[in-house]
Each structure stands twice: as structure tokens, then as C-alpha cells.
């Protein structure tokens, strides 16, 4: 079934039109409490001892009762302050996901039937001070829609010298069925945005790293930016895989110290991707003074056969 053409949400305010794509910056959208959700949510980032982060590709099932109940259960059990969803659904009839006391930023890349839109969603407590994002300028083979990226700056405890800081969270749903060259070009665009930030950083989402070459490219960009991947225990690594490679990842900067190994939630549940849960504690670091040097070009690689 062909996909409907993308239409922008009226809540997205264009900042600047680039030659090959549209970059957006917009205010956070107030999240309303979903039915049956306790409005008392996660502890504030500044006051909580740990930062709890949930990332999940909900496979366009964000509006289903099963997915909503799953999110409710995780909220009650883990109290995440940051929730990053890929393939989330937004429309005028369904309530937002259940992080009721936070605020959300949403960027659509696909319009579905009946006014429903699919895209990437970020929810945080406290609310983001600024949100932005873009759609990829390249398209996947056989598809007519781009992939989305969403970032948000969130209040973060001040540095030791007293300067105010923010945590930059980047929610990525990367290109899938392409050669390595367009994948690399879009990833370097992400790296350039991350390199502008001088505070702590989280880069997470569905990276579609279905080959060793893709994974090596992501790792090289992360290394150049001073980011480290948080991994689950080898015996508990139930992440979604394609061609033997995990697709979902969480990368963190030096000032975020993992409290425990990455948790893989719901490995056989309501989505074809399990969710990832990370927990961090803030540690003092020396900010980087030199800009990151991103990796050079890599040779193209043929894509695999498309699959949902």
C-alpha cells in the first residue's frame, strides 16, 4: 500500500530552509495526562540521583492499548525522566504516551490514514527548553518518505564552576535500505549537530546498523564525539537484530556514568523492537576544548532486501 505524502504538523515552526532539506526548531508541546495515568511522574532531572532513559521503536503501535499499558508499567517500575520513541503515533484523538508530568517534542516523517502521523517523540521531566530536528535529505530504496531526527536540550545540573548547562538528547531513526554513502552523509550531519553542544549528550534510537560497516561508521562518529555505547550483559542482549547485527543503541558522553548495564525490556512483546533502559549518574568532567574531527568517507555498500 503506497504511503501518503508527508504533511507537516501545524505545531512545527520552520526556522531555516536548507538547500537540500528543512531544519526545524520549535517549542515543546505540553503533554496531557492519558486516561488512567497518575499525573505524578518521574523525579526531576536536577533533583534525582540518577537519570533514567527509555528508548523504544514502537513499530507504529504507540496508540495501541497494549503499548500504552506497557509504557504505563515501565513508568511505574523504572520512573524514566527521558523517553525517546521511534515510529510513534500522534493524532488529535489519542492521548500522548504516559509520562504525564513532562512535556513532549514530536517530529513526523509520515502521514498515515485518518490524520494520524508517525515520527520520533521525546518526552522529558523537566520539560525541554528547546527542541529541533530535521528529515533526511536522502530517501530509502523503494520508499518515498525520509527518516526523522529529533533533538532536545533539557535543563541539567550546573558545572562545578557554576555555569548553567543543558543535556542534549538526540532521538534518531536512521536510514535503512540505502548504500553506505547516504547513510554516512546523514550520520555526519547528526555528528555536526552534536559537535556544537558543550554539555552532556545522549544519542539513542534505531540506528539500522544491519552491517558491520554501518556499525563501524556509527562507532567512529561516536568516538570522535567522545561518546561511549552502553551495552547490555551479553547473556541478556535481546535487542532487535537484522543480519546478525543489533539495530538499537544508546551512546552517552563522559559526564554520564552508567549505574548498571543496559536493560533490554519486552523482548517478545508489543513491538518488533524491544525497549532499552539506561541509568546514569552525573560525574564531573573537563569540557572538551577542541572540535570533534568526524570520520572520512567510506566505500558504498549494497543494501539488504527490504523488510519491515
CATH label of the domain that carries residue 26: 3.60.10.10
Please tell me which residue, 174 or 33, carries the higher pLDDT value: 174
Residue 126: asked if its preceding bond is cis (omega within 30°), the reply is: yes
Is 205 within the bounds of a domain? yes
Is 2 within the bounds of a domain? no
Mean pLDDT within 205-225? 96
Least confident of 75-89, 198-212, 247-261: 75-89
Q: How far is CA 285 from CA 131, 149, 160, 202, in A?
A: 25, 28, 9, 15
3-state SS class at 84: strand
DSSP state of 140: -
Domain that holds residue 167: 14-282
pLDDT-based confidence at 108, cuts 50/70/90? confident
How many domains are there within the chain?
A: 1
Is 291 within the bounds of a domain? no
pLDDT-based confidence at 47, cuts 50/70/90? low
3-state SS class at 89: strand
How would DSSP label each residue in 220-245? HHHHHTT-EE--B-GGG----EETTE
Is 34 within the bounds of a domain? yes
Is 6 within the bounds of a domain? no
3-state SS class at 278: strand
Is 294 within the bounds of a domain? no
Amino acid at each position: 500500500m503506497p504511503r501518503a505524502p508527508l504533511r507537516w504538523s501545524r505545531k512545527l515552526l520552520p526556522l531555516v530552509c536548507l538547500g537540500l532539506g528543512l531544519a526545524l526548531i520549535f517549542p515543546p508541546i505540553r503533554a496531557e495526562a492519558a486516561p488512567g495515568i497518575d499525573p505524578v511522574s518521574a523525579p526531576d532531572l536536577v533533583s534525582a540521583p540518577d537519570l533514567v532513559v527509555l528508548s523504544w521503536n514502537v513499530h507504529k503501535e504507540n496508540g495501541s492499548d497494549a503499548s500504552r499499558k506497557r509504557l504505563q508499567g515501565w513508568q511505574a517500575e523504572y520512573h524514566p525522566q527521558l523517553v525517546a520513541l521511534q515510529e510513534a503515533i500522534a493524532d488529535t484523538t489519542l492521548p500522548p504516551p504516559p509520562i504525564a508530568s513532562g512535556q513532549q517534542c514530536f517530529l513526523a516523517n509520515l502521514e498515515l490514514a485518518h490524520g494520524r502521523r508517525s515520527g520520533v517523540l521525546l518526552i522529558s521531566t523537566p520539560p525541554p527548553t528547546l527542541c529541533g530536528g530535521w528529515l533526511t535529505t536522502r530517501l530509502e530504496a523503494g520508499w518515498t518518505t525520509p527518516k526523522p531526527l529529533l533533538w532536545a536540550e533539557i535543563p541539567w545540573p550546573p558545572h562545578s564552576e557554576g555555569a548553567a548547562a543543558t543535556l542534549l538528547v538526540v532521538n534518531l531513526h536512521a536510514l535503512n535500505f540505502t548504500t553506505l554513502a547516504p547513510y554516512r552523509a546523514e550520520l555526519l550531519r547528526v555528528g555536526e549537530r552534536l559537535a556544537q553542544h558543550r554539555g552532556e549528550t545522549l544519542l539513542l534510537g534505531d540506528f539500522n546498523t544491519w552491517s558491520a560497516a554501518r556499525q563501524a561508521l556509527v562507532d567512529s562518529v561516536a568516538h570522535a564525539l567522545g561518546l561511549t555505547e552502553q551495552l547490555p550483559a551479553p547473556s541478556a542482549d535481546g535487542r532487535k537484530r537484522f543480519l546478525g547485527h543489533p539495530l538499537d543503541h544508546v551512546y552517552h558522553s563522559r559526564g554520564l556514568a552508567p549505574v548498571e548495564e543496559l536493560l533490554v525490556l519486552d523482548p517478545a512483546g508489543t513491538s518488533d523492537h524491544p525497549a532499552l533502559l539506561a541509568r546514569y549518574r552525573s560525574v564531573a568532567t573537563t569540557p572538551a576544548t577542541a572540535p570533534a574531527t568526524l570520520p572520512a568517507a567510506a566505500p558504498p555498500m549494497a543494501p539488504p532486501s527490504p523488510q519491515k
